[in-house]
Structure 1
Amino acid sequence: MNALLEIDALSKAFGTVKAVDDVTLTLPRGASLGLVGESGSGKSTILRCLVGLETPDAGTVRYAGFDAVRADRTERRRFRREVQMVFQNPYASLNPRMTVEEIVAEPLRVHEPKTARAERRDRVVEALERVGLTGSALPRRPARFSGGQRQRIAIARALVSRPEVLVCDEPVSALDVSVQAQVVNLLRGMRRDLGLTILFVAHDLAVVRQLCDHIAVLKDGRVVEEGDREQIYGDPRHPYTRELLAAVPIPDPAADRERRRRIREGR
């Protein structure tokens, strides 16, 4: 598969702290890559550098063959339209003063300002229906919705411009477990039906396993292990990866203790 998104030797420091240290990742078109690690491992900083919210100190981000960090105006507009982000907290990422119609239509107003009002509304309804909501949500404000519904609205906003890449920064960590599963299943379906390429950040390996076919494990700003899903979950090589896997609980306490022991011993 062709590499759609390439991160090469990316580094970013805040003062004396290296948040990201020489990270290289490749995301083929149509693939789903999971970035996992505990808080402070550098996951979100990589995403913020990728989408332009932070400027890397070194390294490159290439999208569809051009340098997204040093792109010209035309390339930058294309990148911002085709690479959309879903943020962690659905309570903070939606403007409480705007209606759902205004929120979801915002990318169209920015990237496709000549779109007629009726067509724009049709696109908004289409995006809402794609995430399991209806046009009845259009005049309502975020406060009228649950956390899971708000995250669906945020995903609809990301989808409305018909992007190539969806960048997800722990999009289910603020949600109840049952709602997490619904949102992950929604993302899986959209990847299948729309051919989306997904970069998914999480600290929960159980969630990543459901969605991602390739996984990179981050510790202290560096990639310590990378591989496909079967290798990472079936034969983890790095002690830190084994510790992360051992931290995922299962309902049977005795079996859980035995599983953790075997993972930590590398068996």
Structure 2
Amino acid sequence: MTRSPHDPNGSAAPLLVVEKLVKSFGGRRVVDEVSFDLAPGEVLGLVGESGSGKSTTARCVARLVRPDSGRVLLAGRDVPGAGRRELRDLRRDMQMVFQDPYSSLNPRMTVEALVGEPLLVHGLERDRRRRRDRVVELLETVGMSAAHLDRHPRSFSGGQRQRIAIARAIAVGPRLLICDEPVSSLDVSVQAQVLNLFRDLRERLGLSILFIAHDLAVVHYLCDRVAVMEHGALVEIGTRSEIFGSPRHPYTRALLDAVPIPDPVAERARARGNRAAP
């Protein structure tokens, strides 16, 4: 398996190990023996068309759904087999950022309550004043301020709501963020801002990120390695330069060929090359 640039020799133990993961719904196998690992501090992109199984894979890793079989190890701990108390501890090390922040944020709660809730649930800060101070610190980390504390999600733009969701996710100090299409509902300019925030958080907090996306330009910008899924199976995995520079699998090449090129001359040259290919 191609190793992360953060650990090219595979000398450090992976933070996350996924082995032969299987999940079916209604008799149809949605995730078919998927295996990969994630090094500390690495960003791994999981890409594929809609229905390829990438989001279900992420939900199995996060134990939002139980896999039918296979192993998921987070820092050596068994995620699918975790009991209630152990799973609660695992949640501190593994948090998720969803595609639609408006759906993932309770509209009746203020920003202070939303970001502070994980601190209260996990018993990290029960004193209200200190918890409020910690929420302000988290908001400033994601580019917001104390002026937003008493407002509700409806008062914010999509990009601001996603920043609030990210602040909530990092509140408990996780080692792994699982991000399921976290910028696909945002405008392009806002996407860039949120992607830069993820890069900054990776560097500042030492986070590992499993980043699910269908936009290959986003993946190229953010991820160290890329894993490609088709019909529930992992068909190719490699470094960013390997996947984008010399893809081996026909499906990976098809995904890359589908990306528009903002240069008519280059686009025509690519079209001629595709027609000439056997």
Q: TM-score range by the shorter chain?
A: over 0.9
Secondary structure (helix, strand or coil) at the match of 2:102 reads coil
The corresponding residue for 1:158 is: 169
Report how far residue 154 of structure 1 moved: 0.5
1:256 aligns with 2:267: yes
2:126 corresponds to: 115
Q: Does 1:19 align with 2:30?
A: yes
Distance 2:253 2:144 in 1: 39
Aligned with 2:109: secondary structure? coil
Moved more, 106-115 or 237-246: 106-115
Aligned residue for 2:140? 129
Q: Confirm or deny: 8 A CA contact 1:245 1:263 kept in the other structure.
A: no
Check conservation: 1:11, 1:20, Cα contact below 8 A: yes
Which residue number corresponds to residue 171 of structure 1?
A: 182
Q: Is the 8 A contact 1:225 1:238 kept in 2?
A: yes
Task: Report the CA distance between 1:72 and its aligned residue.
Answer: 3.6
Structure-2 change in CA distance of 1:114 and 1:207 (3 Å): closer
Distance 2:23 2:275 in 1: 31
Asked whether the equivalents of residues 11 and 22 of structure 1 are also in contact (C-alpha less than 8 Å), the reply is: yes
Q: 1:157 is aligned with what amino acid?
A: R
Q: What displacement does 1:67 show? A: 0.5
Q: Verify: 1:83 aligned to 2:131, yes or no.
A: no
Per-residue CA deviation, residues 193-212 of structure 1 (Å, 9 max, x unaligned), is: 11101000000111011111
Where does residue 29 of structure 1 map in the other structure? 40
Answer yes or no: is 1:196 the counterpart of 2:207. Answer: yes
How many residue pairs get matched? 267
SS in 2 for 1:40: coil
CA drift at 1:106: 1.2
* CA drift at 1:261: 5.1
In structure 1, distance between residues paired with 2:68 and 2:268: 43
Contact between 2:125 and 2:131, CA under 8 Å: does it hold in 1? Answer: no
Q: Are 1:60 and 1:69, in contact at CA under 8 Å, matched by a contact in 2?
A: yes
Deviation of the 1:254 alpha carbon: 2.7
Deviations 1:218-263 (A, max 9, x none): 0000000000011000000111101111111121123123235547
Task: Give yes or no for contact 2:18–2:70 (8 Å, CA) kept in 1.
Answer: yes
Aligned counterpart in structure 1 of residue 221 of structure 2, from 192, 210, 224: 210
Q: Alignment partner of 2:178: what SS? A: strand
2:51 counterpart residue number: 40
Determine if contact 1:243/1:264 at 8 Å carries over to the other structure: no
Q: Deviations over 1:130-189 (max 9, x none)?
A: 110001110000111000110011001001111111110000000011111111111001
Cα RMSD of the aligned pairs, angstroms, is 1.7
Trace 1:5-16 onto structure 2 (pairs within 5 A): 5-16=16-27
Aligned structure 1 segments of 4 or more residues deviating by more than 6 angstroms: 263-266
Tell me if structure 2 keeps the 8 A contact 1:10–1:58: yes
